């Protein structure tokens, strides 16, 4: 990566940091959008290596189940405890299931799964592709007339798009399980009452938005980390820089887009 | 003159690789300052010169991995093979899969493909390692795999970046022999970048010496040792005294 021009003519220029930072951010967003277009074009043309998609689904999805379960479980515990405490004060303990499940399906499920996959998978993809870049493996692909977008990005993207909703729903169920445990132990609420309240509260629309959010999360994670990996040049130390950059960008974007989707679908009218 | 002969003569008149006034700089540092040469089919050109003078950069410009700042690159075909200086094998694939990937766009039948891959691996003595991953190979074995990968699809233009560096003398000779055979058999145009004297004197028809971003000598390899030109004299005799200041 190039040295950022912070000092010019021997004078420290703080705005140059901002300019360099802003410029590289804009460039990355452009690269990401372009890469997304290329990837979608290849998918529409049917140029898909299914065995590789399967392999990537295993790497991206199956191996994330454990970390997603642990985070969803403890987020579920903490959140349910807070909700149960407040609702019991109002004597509305039968509504605990509804409130917990709404929070899970609308916000906590997609966010938890998204953030964990961003940390586990986004960083791994950025590190892998950056390594391939600096060891000229990407150049070798180009000489063999193989587009890295088709060979590397398409299978990872499809795997991400297939596995992310599964992981989000899974995170939601783990969270619900935590909610049931807390409701039983802290508020003495039977499981049947809890689930009744869940059924009455959650609508089809919540599932639709849930899927939209996980689709967007998958797109953010795979596209940003691939674009970062494929645009990094230099030496071994740049692998670390690219990894950090991928995590920061994917997580930030997940939170931003999560809010955008929420505000478009749930804002009070 | 029969028509076959005639066609051959005509095609050999037009160069397969033509480079004119090539300029390239990295971060404001000029590496190439106007390099021109051409290579015809059935011919091998050696590019020699001190480390860091831009030899690999020229090869990357030729196969489109880099864009020149100024000047023209004309390749008669896009069926190009490149042996990378650093092997550049795909780490996640076995030797066989690496070669098979190179054949991907060439639409061969499965048994044809297998035959081709095994033939080339036999040639570089890696039949046993066909299902190994690059990380399980020695540096020289990786280099040979990279060589096999670059030639597996019978390219019309072959670019070799240090094809024999790091190989033992016998294997170097085998690779050099095969480069000579490829040149006549495929009628390929080849460019070889090398520091190894035997490689460029044995395989090349012509050589150019690159120094300070320009070609400072060109000629037939056999003349290099006895030439009175100060540049090639210094380089061929590995002498510290001379017009080239290196380092
Ligand atoms: N991508 C790049 N970014 C910045 N500088 C570069 C880049 N590629 C090459 N250079 C610089 O260009 C010069 C020429 O590099 P090149 O790899 O072509 O040398 P070379 O002649 O192949 O050397 P060697 O014989 O050691 O392989 C070097 O000074 C190198 O630092
Ligand atoms: Mg080089």
DSSP string, chain A: -PPP--EETTEE-HHHHHHHHHHHHHHHHHHHHHHHHHHHHHHHTT---HHHHHHHHHHHTGGGHHHHHHHHHHHHHHHHHHHHHHHHHTT-GGGHHHHHHHHIIIIIHHHHHHHHHIIIIIHHHHHHHHHHHHTTHHHHHHHTT--HIIIIIHHHHHHHHHHHHHHHHHHHHHHHHHHHHHHHHHH---HHHHHHHHHHH--HHHHHHHHHHHHHHHHHHHHHHHHHHHH--S-THHHHHHHHHHHHHHHHHHHHHHHHHHHHHH---
What pLDDT is stored for residue A6 in this prediction? Answer: 61
Domain count, chain B: 2
Q: How far is the CA of B161 from the centre of ligand 2 (A)?
A: 7
Domain membership of residue B31 (yes or no) is yes
Residues B193 and B72 in one domain: yes
Q: How far is CA B177 from CA A191, B48, B152, B174, B183, in A?
A: 79, 19, 16, 5, 10
* Ligand 1 atom at minimum distance from B49 CA: 21
User: What would the pLDDT profile of A235-258 be if each residue is shown by its tens digit?
Assistant: 888 999 999 999 999 999 999 999
Of the candidates A142, A135, A148, A133, the one whose C-alpha atom is nearest the C-alpha of residue B82 is A142
ipTM over 0.85: yes
Domain membership of residue A42 (yes or no) is no
Interchain contact A2–B (C-beta under 8 A) = yes
Q: How far is the CA of B56 from the centre of ligand 1 (A)?
A: 7
Domain membership of residue A23 (yes or no) is no
Residue A141: pLDDT over 70: yes
Domain count, chain A: 1
User: What would the pLDDT profile of B116-144 be if each residue is shown by its tens digit?
Assistant: 999 999 988 899 999 999 999 998 899 99
Of the candidates A261, A253, A247, the one whose C-alpha atom is nearest the C-alpha of residue A219 is A253
- More confidently predicted of B244 and A92: A92
- More confidently predicted of A134 and A2: A134
A136 and B64: CB-CB below 8 Å?
Answer: no
User: What would the pLDDT profile of B34-53 be if each residue is shown by its tens digit?
Assistant: 999 999 988 999 999 999 99
- Domain termination site, one of B154, B179, B200: B154
Is any ligand 1 atom within 6 A of the Cβ of residue B56? yes
- More confidently predicted of A7 and A189: A189
The domain spanning residue B16 has which CATH number?
3.40.50.300
Residues B197 and B227 in one domain: yes
What pLDDT is stored for residue B3 in this prediction? Answer: 47
Query: Contact B125/B168 with Cβ under 8 angstroms?
Result: no
Residues within 5 Å of ion ligand 2, judged at the Cβ atom: B 56, 85
Interchain contact B82–A (C-beta under 8 A) = yes
DSSP B70: E
Nearest to B84 among A140, A145, A146 (CB): A140
Residues B4 and B70 in one domain: yes
What pLDDT is stored for residue B247 in this prediction? Answer: 55
Chain B nearest-CA residue for A3? B27
User: How many angstroms away from the CA of A134 is the closest CA of chain B?
Assistant: 9
Interchain contact A143–B (C-beta under 8 A) = yes
Cα(first)–Cα(last) distance of chain A, in Å?
Answer: 47
* Ligand 1 atom at minimum distance from B58 CA: 18
What pLDDT is stored for residue A36 in this prediction? Answer: 97
What is the domain extent for residue B30?
1-79+158-165+188-247
Domain membership of residue A151 (yes or no) is yes
- Give me the average pLDDT of each 10-residue run along chain B (247 residues): 48 82 93 94 92 93 94 91 93 95 89 93 91 94 93 92 89 89 86 90 92 91 83 82 73
User: How many angstroms away from the CA of B219 is the closest CA of chain A?
Assistant: 29
Domain membership of residue A115 (yes or no) is yes
Report how far residue A176's alpha carbon sits from residue A1's, in angstroms, rounded to the nearest whole number: 45
Residue A5 pLDDT grade (very low, low, confident, very high; cuts 50, 70, 90): low
Domain membership of residue A224 (yes or no) is yes
Which pair of tokens denotes residue A254? 């997940």
- Domain termination site, one of B128, B154, B180: B154
What pLDDT is stored for residue B128 in this prediction? Answer: 93
What pLDDT is stored for residue B1 in this prediction? Answer: 40
B105 and A142: CB-CB below 8 Å?
Answer: no
- Chain A segment 107-136 residues within 8 A of B by beta carbon are 131-132, 135-136
């Amino acid at each position: 990566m190039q040295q950022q021009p912070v000092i010019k003519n021997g004078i420290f220029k703080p705005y140059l940091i901002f300019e360099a930072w802003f410029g590289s951010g804009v460039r990355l967003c452009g690269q990401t959008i372009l890469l997304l277009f290329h990837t979608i074009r290849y998918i529409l043309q049917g140029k898909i290596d299914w065995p590789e998609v399967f392999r990537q689904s295993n790497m991206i999805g199956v191996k994330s189940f454990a970390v997603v379960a642990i985070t969803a479980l403890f987020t579920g515990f903490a959140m349910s405890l807070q909700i149960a405490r407040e609702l019991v004060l109002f004597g509305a303990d039968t509504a605990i299931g509804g409130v917990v499940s709404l929070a899970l399906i609308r916000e906590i499920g997609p966010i938890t799964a998204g953030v964990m996959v961003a940390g586990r998978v986004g960083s791994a993809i950025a590190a892998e592709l950056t390594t391939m870049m600096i060891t000229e493996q990407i150049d070798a692909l180009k000489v063999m007339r193989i587009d890295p977008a088709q060979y590397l990005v398409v299978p990872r993207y499809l795997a991400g798009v297939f596995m992310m909703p599964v992981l989000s729903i899974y995170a939601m169920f783990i969270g619900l399980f935590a909610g049931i445990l807390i409701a039983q132990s802290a508020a003495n609420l039977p499981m049947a009452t809890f689930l009744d309240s869940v059924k009455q509260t959650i609508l089809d629309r919540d599932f639709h938005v849930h899927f939209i959010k996980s689709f967007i999360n998958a797109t953010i994670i795979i596209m940003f980390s691939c674009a970062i990996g494929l645009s990094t040049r230099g030496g071994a130390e740049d692998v670390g820089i690219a990894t950090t950059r991928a995590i920061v960008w994917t997580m930030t974007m997940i939170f931003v887009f999560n809010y955008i989707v929420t505000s478009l679908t749930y804002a009070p009218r | 003159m029969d028509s076959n002969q005639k066609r051959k003569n005509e095609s050999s008149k037009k160069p397969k690789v033509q480079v004119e006034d090539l300029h390239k700089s990295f971060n404001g540092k000029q590496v190439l300052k106007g390099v021109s040469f051409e290579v015809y089919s059935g011919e091998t050109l050696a590019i020699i010169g001190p480390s860091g003078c831009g030899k690999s950069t020229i090869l990357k410009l030729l196969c489109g991995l880099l864009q020149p700042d100024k000047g023209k690159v004309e390749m008669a075909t896009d069926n190009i093979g490149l042996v990378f200086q650093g092997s550049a094998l795909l780490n996640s694939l076995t030797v066989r899969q690496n070669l098979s990937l190179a054949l991907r766009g060439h639409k061969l039948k499965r048994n044809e493909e297998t035959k081709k891959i095994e033939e080339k691996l036999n040639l570089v003595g890696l039949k046993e390692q066909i299902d190994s991953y690059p990380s399980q190979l020695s540096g020289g074995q990786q280099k040979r795999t990279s060589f096999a990968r670059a030639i597996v699809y019978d390219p019309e233009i072959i670019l070799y970046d240090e094809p024999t560096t790091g190989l033992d003398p016998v294997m170097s000779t085998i690779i050099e022999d095969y480069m000579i055979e490829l040149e006549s058999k495929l009628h390929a145009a080849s460019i070889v970048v090398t520091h190894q004297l035997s490689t460029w004197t044995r395989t090349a028809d012509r050589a150019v010496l690159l120094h300070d971003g320009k070609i400072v000598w060109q000629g037939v390899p056999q003349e290099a040792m006895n030439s009175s030109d100060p540049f090639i004299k210094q380089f061929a005799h590995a002498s510290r005294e001379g017009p080239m200041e290196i380092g």
